[in-house]
Amino acid sequence: METYGLEKLGIFTSNTVHRNLGPAQLTEAALRRGEGKLSNTGALVVTTGKYTGRSPNDKFIVDTPAVHDDIAWGKVNCPISKEKFDAIKDKVCAYLNDREIFIFDGFAGADPKHTKKFRVVNEMASQNLFIHQLLIRPTADELAAYGEADYTILAAPGFKCDPAVDGVNSEAAIMIDYEAHLIVICGSQYSGEIKKSVFSTMNYVLTKEGVLPMHCSANMDPETNETAVFFGLSGTGKTTLSADANRKLIGDDEHGWSDDGIFNMEGGCYAKCINLKEENEPEIYHAIRFGALVENVVMDDATREFDFDDDSLTENTRVGYPIDFISNAAIPGVGGTPKVVIFLTADAFGVLPPISRLDENAAMYHFVTGFTSKLAGTERGITEPQPTFSTLFGEPFMPMDPSVYAEMLGKRIEESKAKVYLVNTGWSGGPYGVGSRMKLKFTRAMVTAALTGDFDKVEYKHHDVFNVDVPQSCPNVPDEIMNPRETWADKAAYDAQANRLADMFSNNFAKKYPNMPAHIAAAGPKSK
């Protein structure tokens, strides 16, 4: 029986080892094993238990001499010794012995110059379905010639760590050994841990190849092929705004920017489902069909219909599906050099302009700062929006020093002459709990204006507190929406809240980036 190199890891299974089963076979296996149920659309529906989001306190990087000086060690990139990693890895391999194993051999990186081979070993058929749909799927010929993988991931949610014995923080552990090209994920069934481990690996490897790895979505004009990228944390609108029926979708979350242009790292999408409505997000809504994996969305057992508004399990409800479920997907997922760069933020204070133009220095400031509000459910323990500063709009997945990525982006923007905008998809008319979330139709209209060049023809007004230029009009958007102060009934309360947020920007920047060049530091908000 072919074991596909598992014996090298100490996995000696006498049971079945499945390799690259299709969606129908994996769905059938998951149902047979009691891992989930079918919805009335044919999608496989699972619940993931106590872990319904990423668990950042359980993420580790193996500290070895070969990588030690490359990693920005700290609260985000936590070290674990090689000895502890190997001990847990050996236990996970022993746990997988004599179990039914599901393997997916796929690719990350749509540009052949930078493609990496990932072998994902799952104990659960449902998780294997997920990663089958999320990575780039090999053709029959590519699979036959696949050979050894560049990186291997072991995903065993049924194995629980013992913190007292294993030297970790809980029953879950997400560990990357860059030198050994091995990732171990145990204790958590949340499939996003697998996806983000691939991303974290690529964010280390691609940088060594001169490619800027980006936590962003991307799309392009179907006629001109002009490309745009959308940076932002989970919940800020990357997937929603890039899934534009008038443009080709390159990808919804993870890309590389090389000398040749941009490319998707993935072959699928992982979209949030909370409050999903067909009229607002038709592309995502119709992607929830046979072959998709739905996580933690409440479903009526009798009718098998979804209740997308029910957040009783989590607000971080998700669906994973192959990108070709989107009718206007760009396949393969490659695009040209971006002409427009958009930073997305969800401001729970309700004071940032809905869209503002950034010069090169301000672009660097906001890229490094990465302000948004963590939205409920994206991480364990987050129950309402909380203001946060996530370096590079993806700090949890960036292992190297932020300056490495920031300098690469600055160079790319300078070379491409790309226009940069900061878009607030958060609150207007007041803070969270008082104001209301920015209407999606208005945000779409503003993004469209940025992409089509309409903002090149309008008047701008400088916002003295946030130090950005705000367009005063936009097609299909009421003028008063463009200036956030005008949406507040109490103008003095707006001023106080704006100054408070500006101080948060300043304090965060001074603390985290004391050595940043003065011209970048000066481009940020300033309270009055």
**Which listed residue (253, 347, 357, 369) is catalytic?**
253
Detail the DSSP E strand segments found in 365-431: 371-374, 386-389, 419-424, 427-428
Asked whether the beta carbons of 4 and 19 are under 8 A apart, the reply is yes
**Which listed residue (114, 116, 238, 374) is catalytic?**
238
Helix axis angle, 402-416 to 360-369, nearest 10°:
150
Q: How far apart are CA 244 and CA 240, in angstroms?
A: 8
Q: How far apart are CA 497 and CA 50, in angstroms?
A: 36
- Cα angle value 257/260/264 (rounded, 5°): 45
Annotation marks residue 339 as catalytic: no
Q: Which residue has the tokens 């508004």?
A: 309
Residues in the chain, overall count: 528
Annotation marks residue 54 as catalytic: yes
Q: How far apart are CA 231 and CA 430, in angstroms?
A: 24
Annotation marks residue 181 as catalytic: no
Q: For 18-32, give one letter per residue: b (16+ CB within 10 A) or e.
A: bbbbebeebbebbee
Q: How far apart are CA 89 and CA 181, in angstroms?
A: 13
Using the Cα atoms of residue 357, residue 361, residue 362 and residue 366 in order, give the sign of their dihedral: positive
**Which listed residue (27, 39, 54, 247) is catalytic?**
54
> Is 112 exposed, middle or buried (CB count within 10 Å of its CB: 0-12, 13-18, 19+)?
exposed
Annotation marks residue 500 as catalytic: no
Q: CB pairs under 8 A, 24+ apart, for 10-14?
A: 10/90, 10/93, 10/94, 11/93, 11/96, 11/97, 11/101, 11/121, 12/97, 13/96, 13/97, 13/98, 13/99, 13/101, 14/98
**Which listed residue (59, 137, 196, 248) is catalytic?**
196
Who's near 252: CB < 8 A, 6+ residues apart?
217, 238, 239, 242, 243, 269, 270, 271, 323
474: which DSSP letter?
B
Annotation marks residue 113 as catalytic: no
Annotation marks residue 253 as catalytic: yes
Asked whether the beta carbons of 146 and 291 are under 8 A apart, the reply is no
Q: For 230-251, give one letter per residue: b (16+ CB within 10 A) or e.
A: bbbbbbbbbbbbbbbeebbbbb
Three-state DSSP at 397 gives helix
Please, which residues bridge with residue 423 across strands? Answer: 344, 355
**Which listed residue (239, 373, 378, 487) is catalytic?**
239
What backbone torsions phi and psi does residue 334 show, to the nearest 5 degrees?
A: -130, 150
**Which listed residue (318, 357, 366, 412) is catalytic?**
318
Q: Which residue has the tokens 């023809």?
A: 457
- SS3 labels along 25-75: HHHHHHHHCCCCEECCCCCEEECCCCCCCECHHHEEEECCCCCHHHCCECC
**Which listed residue (215, 247, 255, 272) is catalytic?**
215
Three-state DSSP at 278 gives coil
Annotation marks residue 239 as catalytic: yes
Annotation marks residue 519 as catalytic: no
Q: How far apart are CA 367 and CA 369, in angstroms?
A: 5
**Which listed residue (201, 234, 378, 443) is catalytic?**
234
Residues tagged active-site: 54, 196, 215, 234, 238-239, 253, 318
